[in-house]
Structure 1
């Protein structure tokens, strides 16, 4: 009886707060319904999905041909500069809207569990930030996405074994060659045995040239018998 009363009071308080500070969709700005988190159902429906999870030889997987052995690769949606969906990635990375990462991570995971290509994955591993950058930002957006995926895929997320050994400059304004040089050989494993014989699902927010993901995959593949697949929220 008391718990029911507490829930009712909590619900009334939430309604009161939402009256003055309504939860809005971080994509379109419309007010969210109670069952919606960060992004409204209409925007989730309108996100330009790639359906790469249904194609083995898709544009993301082709990025890595001749560079590093990747089992499968996919991205949830197409990243277009200036679109309302670009705002979601920007707010996730720079405005502490981790709820966006959790929600989109869940959506990405729903895609992957409906694909035969990812059904033997053992472990989810987000692309790591250098500790200095993570301290400044306060969180790793790839880890946030991975945590959303974990809820759906029921897989462990490992954030400690793969690490970035060098604090590098942002990749955003670099050319393809500069991006590769910026991350070449900077990712390492603390213990290779932890990934031995495992199929690792490597996670990041956006794939552009694939340089960072390539460098991470090369480090993971140092573990004997390991395999790497890749999934990102967006493909640019």
Structure 2
């Protein structure tokens, strides 16, 4: 009772706001308010990737512009709130545990940032998402990929240009942790799949048994 009183008092003067709608959170809510959770556009689907190298991919949410999901992703990536990624991973991990082939994963690998971008941001949002998945799925994480070549912005590129842009951008620095294993590759937002395919190619070349992919959101 005392702890709740102190929490309520602190929230009165320093209210924590929802990452989706910026309204103050009430007691018991964490990072995202109940209303936003209710209205989030969950995919409820697991889609086959167009390219065979990446196996299957699943996305937690649909990503559309000027939406709750866009605001949540923006808070996660650019407002120093990496804990949002962990929370989303915990929620989605519980779903994936009931879903083949994702439940068969033996190790979870986040898509890496280029070192320059990592220094600027201070954290890799995909690694925090991976941590959340790890907690729910009880699978280890391995940050065994490095992005050794900085890539140009993908925003205005065609599908083919995106694939060429990501070609040979990733390198596996510890093959032992993925050799002969079912790998779950994770990222924040799925657009064309070029980044996931480039990472999957590096993992498969290093001896991974197979690579399935999971993202927080999928662009429509």
For Structure 1 versus Structure 2, the TM-score category normalised by the shorter chain is: over 0.9
CA contact (8 A) 1:37 1:99 kept: no
Alignment correspondent of 1:26 = 19
Name the counterpart of 1:235.
218
Distance 1:171 1:211 in 2: 10
> Could you list the runs of 5+ residues in structure 1 that have no partner in the other structure?
1-6
Runs of 4+ aligned structure 1 residues displaced above 6 Å come to none
Contact 1:74 1:232 in 2 (8 A): yes
Q: Scaled by the length of structure 1, what TM-score is found?
A: 0.86
**Corresponding position: 1:121 with 2:114:** no
For 1:225 and 1:170, locate their aligned partners in 2 and report how far apart those are by CA, in whole Å.
Answer: 29
| 3-state SS of paired residue (1:119) | helix
**Number of residues of Structure 1 aligned to a counterpart in Structure 2:** 219
For residues 1-236 of structure 1, what are the structure 2 equivalents within 5 Å?
8=2, 11-53=4-46, 58=47, 61-62=48-49, 64-65=50-51, 68-159=52-143, 161-224=144-207, 226-236=209-219
Deviations 1:152-207 (A, max 9, x none): 11111111x21111122232333222221221011111132331111110000100
Distance (whole Å) between structure 1 residues aligned to residue 131 and residue 186 of structure 2: 10
User: 1:225/1:206 Cα in 2 relative to 1: closer, same or farther (>3 Å)?
Assistant: closer
TM-score (normalised: structure 2)? 0.92
The separation in 2 between residues aligned to 1:16 and 1:51, in whole angstroms, is 39
Root-mean-square deviation over aligned CA pairs: 1.8
Instruction: Report the CA distance between 1:225 and its aligned residue.
Output: 5.0
Q: Cα distance 1:74–1:193, how it changes in 2: closer, same or farther (>3 A)?
A: same
State the secondary structure of the residue aligned to 2:139. Answer: coil
What SS is found at the alignment partner of 1:132?
A: helix
Q: Could you list the runs of 5+ residues in structure 2 that have no partner in the other structure?
A: none
Larger Rg: 1
1-structure distance, mates of 2:84, 2:155: 21
